[in-house]
Amino acid sequence: MDRDDILARHKARKDARLALAEGLKEKRETWHPANIAGRWKNNQIEKLSGAKDKGIMLAKDNKVLLGGAAIAAILLAAHRPILGAAKKWNEKLRNG
């Protein structure tokens, strides 16, 4: 082995160490907990905004259906007072 071979191998080792260090730095940034949390948060925001847009479009397309469902929910919630009032009114009519 002569001096040029030793210098070439030394340079190759140095270049390999630098490439490894750059790769490790990139992986550290990618897998840092704060970066993982940030990516997760951004993904959730994208999913929610997409779901919000879909929900708005569904509501616009089905206004009548949503109105009917709202009326049904109100009647379901108020059915006991309505039935009670109807029974009292019926008794008043019968008893005069």
On average, the pLDDT of the chain sits at 90
Q: How far apart are CA 93 and CA 96, in angstroms?
A: 5
Q: What is the pLDDT of residues 19-54, one digit of tens each?
A: 999 888 888 888 899 999 999 999 999 998 888 888
Contact status, residue 66 vs residue 59, Cβ threshold 8 Å: yes
Give the alpha-carbon dihedral of 26, 31, 34, 37, to 10 degrees. 130
DSSP string, 29-52: HHT-HHHHHHHHHHHHHHHHHHHH
64-87 mean pLDDT:
92
Cβ atoms of residues 29 and 35 within 8 Å: yes
Percent of the chain with pLDDT over 90: 57
Q: For residue 70, give the amino acid letter.
A: A
Q: Is the pLDDT of residue 96 over 80?
A: no
